[in-house]
Chain A
Amino acid sequence: AQKVTQAQTEISVVEKEDVTLDCVYETRDTTYYLFWYKQPPSGELVFLIRRNSFDEQNEISGRYSWNFQKSTSSFNFTITASQVVDSAVYFCALSEPTGTASKLTFGTGTRLQVTL
Chain B
Amino acid sequence: DVKVTQSSRYLVKRTGEKVFLECVQDMDHENMFWYRQDPGLGLRLIYFSYDVKMKEKGDIPEGYSVSREKKERFSLILESASTNQTSMYLCASSLIRYSNQPQHFGDGTRLSIL
Contact = CB atoms under 8 A, between A and B. Distances in A.
Nearest to B88: A43
Interface residues on B, range: 20 to 34
B48 A103 contact: yes
Contacts of B105: 37, 44-46
Interface stretch (B11-19, B61-69, B71-79, B91-99): B91-99
B42 A106 contact: yes
A102 B107 contact: no
Please classify the interface of chain A as helix (H, G, I), strand (E, B), loop, or mixed, using the class held by over half of its residues. Answer: loop
A47 B42 contact: no
A47 B104 contact: yes
B60 to A, nearest CB: 13
Contact of B56 (A35, A95, A101): A101
Given A45-B92, A102-B103, 18 more contacts: A42-B107, A43-B88, A43-B107, A43-B110, A47-B103, A101-B31, A101-B48, A101-B50, A101-B56, A101-B97, A102-B100, A102-B101, A103-B58, A104-B103, A106-B42, A107-B42, A108-B41, A108-B42
Interface of A: 9, 33, 35, 37, 42-47, 50, 52, 91, 95, 98-99, 101-104, 106-109
